[in-house]
Chain A
């Protein structure tokens, strides 16, 4: 038998020698970024992580925080779930999101609504304009059919299983995994109801900034869009950065854009009136 690391101290030496290794997909601790928007100080940065192709990440964000997602290489697909961090039975409701706003498409100025008539997050900047509130994400069955397998433990993880793991990191269960939105990959709806997926790949570096309107937990899976027509498992890393920011004020243009959005913000303000 070969001895590789025969005693605990040798094992410790081996483990500690890995310190400082840099890979493409990893969090930076403490968070650091050299491209924060004007007016955002480095101390306000709370999260800096590159999410692997086929990977996932999850984060708790305070009301007012900004979450910037960047499609680094043009082929990321952020499947996103959002929970009220204080009461996760309240969560993103994609049906209310499109119905209340009288529109099928997400983009700058749009709200991501909860099932309690409140706005969880709003989209304050969007370079991409190709998003999808309808298709959901891949699952074990669809990945098995398309890539031959789709396990978390394999080479082609499916989006649902990624979201399940992310939710589980907050103590949540299968019944908490709800319909998601896909950011950076789009779905155009034809008048006969047909779904035309808008998969790209797109130009690298498209960014999206979301503003937390409540204390939220976000879970993000970065797996190929469920209607990606390509045979190969095609997805590239996704960068996530978040920083503290001011709570939305009464004169905010997104808050006041429509009567429905005003009432969604009023319901949030009422929730925090305690």
Chain B
């Protein structure tokens, strides 16, 4: 028994438990049937998230296939994360946040120049993290596609106005993902400091894998 609140409700044996520092990448292989819990330790920390099939990494998370299949842009409890071939990769089996984003994409040095100006080009960005992690396993730029942003809030208003706004997460809130196939998880613990996605203050997150 433990009194660690981050483990509340988890069943099975913990096979991995790691704190990802603020602004850092994370790469981890998760077997079918295992569950990944992401803990937003300090609240409103965007976790940019990509998935690849371990058996064939040209099959990967597809935001478009995921939202089409459920007819809704927001990722909620019960959402099945689908691949570009339409197959289930992971399922959101639980989350204490109402919904998560998958339309906002990942920040990059290059898109930062558009959004904020060329003075931000040298700032660290999620695509740098995605590249660094993917390059370790022979993947590269062509393998980066529209991602998930856990704990990030991107509403779409009636006239189509859309933007990253104040988060709806809080310290200690979680998302639990059950792997439906053997997957490779690639994360960027978002370093963005020019919009509210990290409450203007990037913080660590915790990754717990149970089997």
Contact = CB atoms under 8 A, between A and B. Distances in A.
A135 interface: yes
A94 B63 CA distance: 10
Nearest to B88: A141
A95 B145 CA distance: 9
A176 interface: yes
A103 B161 contact: yes
B114 A100 contact: yes
Contacts of B14: none
Given A179-B62, A194-B71, A102 B162 contact: yes
Interface string A127-150: 000000011110111100000000
Interface string B148-159: 000000111111
Interface string B55-84: 001110011110111011110000000001
Interface stretch (A109-117, A213-221, A242-250): A109-117
Contacts of A135: 64, 67-68
A156 B165 CA distance: 41
Contact of B72 (A89, A93, A118, A193): A193
B146 A263 contact: no
Interface in B146-180: 146-147, 154-164
Interface string B85-114: 111000000000001000111101111111
Interface of A: 89, 93-96, 98-100, 102-105, 113, 115-118, 134-137, 139-142, 160, 173-180, 189, 191-195, 226-227, 260, 263-264, 267
10 A-B pairs with least C-beta separation: A95-B105, A136-B64, A141-B86, A117-B110, A193-B74, A174-B58, A193-B73, A104-B160, A105-B160, A189-B156
Given A96-B111, A139-B85, 15 more contacts: A93-B105, A93-B111, A96-B105, A99-B104, A103-B162, A104-B162, A115-B110, A115-B141, A117-B109, A117-B112, A136-B64, A174-B58, A175-B143, A193-B72, A195-B67
